[in-house]
Amino acid sequence: MPALSEIFDLDALKSRLYSAVLSDVLDQLGYPNQAVKPFVRPLDDASILCGFARTGLYMKRYHFPEGHNPYALEMDLIDSLKPGEVAVLACDGPTDRIAPWGELLTTASKVRGSAGCLTDGLVRDVRRIRELGFPVFHGGIGPLDTKGRAEMMASDEPVEVAGARVAPGDFVFGDVDGVVIVPQAIAVEAVKLALAKIEAEDTTREELLAGDSLRAVFERHGVL
């Protein structure tokens, strides 16, 4: 089976999909717990996060031996990002201690064609990230560095971010309403159903604007 990156046109999906319709479709398919908790928000409400997960798992640290580089795994993950991939950083948020993302990681990720960052940890350098126009969905804003506080302990393995399980290669979609994780195994089916539902919603909207009642339109199309 081809990789999702060979099947999905991310630019087209960014202009057509939205998180609410994907959430509805996942409910329909029996996956009701795929939306991250609502404390995770975009740095810019206009941002669209659309790509494939690369995961990193953080834990609190209180001591680093002399000569130890606490950024090693973090740098390896960012340096290996491919176009269309999303850095998904699990920090057991909400947190006031773990802040894995900032402007320099944003710059390195954008140059590599990354599709964005999702974290339930903190971010900093917000003004510069906004200037770069890079999609970042975060669990809070703060000035902290991770050094002396936390470290990425594993990468490219299943994690949990703000209550949602994320595995490497899962389809990640976020907008101003929130972020939804679509498991890789059902991503093609879910996106196909979501696009069909969007067409039905467009028809419903047109009929409502023409003056039809909500009940009558719902009975025709089953969309609300």
Domain span at 139: 4-184
160 belongs to a structural domain: yes
Distances from the Cα of 64 to the Cα of 71, 102, 142, 147, 185, angstroms: 11, 21, 22, 9, 39
Question: Is 150 contained in some domain?
Answer: yes
Q: How many CA atoms lie within 13 A of 115 on its CB side?
A: 26
Question: What's the chain's average pLDDT?
Answer: 93
pLDDT, residue 106, reads 98
Q: Look at residue 220 and tell me if it is in a domain.
A: no
pLDDT band at 200 (very low <50, low <70, confident <90, very high): confident
Inside any domain, residue 190:
no
CATH number at residue 50: 3.50.30.40
What contacts 24+ positions apart, CB below 8 Å, involve 25-32?
Answer: 25/190, 25/193, 25/194, 25/197, 26/180, 26/182, 26/190, 28/193, 29/186, 29/189, 29/190, 29/193, 31/183, 31/186
Q: What is the mean pLDDT of residues 123-149?
A: 95
Is residue 1 over pLDDT 70?
A: no
Q: Which pairs with CB-CB distance under 8 Å and at least 24 residues apart come from 23-32?
A: 23/178, 23/180, 24/194, 24/197, 25/190, 25/193, 25/194, 25/197, 26/180, 26/182, 26/190, 28/193, 29/186, 29/189, 29/190, 29/193, 31/183, 31/186
Cis check for the bond before 94: say yes or no (omega within 30 of 0).
Answer: yes
169 inside domain: yes
Residue 2's pLDDT is: 61
Determine, yes or no, domain membership for 212.
no
pLDDT bucket at 126, cuts 50 / 70 / 90: very high
Rounded to an integer, the average pLDDT of 108-135 is 98
Q: Which residue from 82, 160, 168 is spatially nearest to 121, judged by alpha carbons?
A: 160
153 within domain boundaries = yes
Q: What residues contact residue 133 under an 8 Å CB cut-off, 6+ apart?
A: 44
User: Domain count of the chain?
Assistant: 1
pLDDT of 129 over the 60 cut: yes
Report pTM: 0.92
Task: Identify the pLDDT of residue 75.
Answer: 97
Residues 5-34 pLDDT 10s: 788 999 999 999 999 999 999 999 999 999
89-117 pLDDT, tens digit each: 999 999 999 999 999 999 999 999 999 99
Residue 211 lies in a domain: no
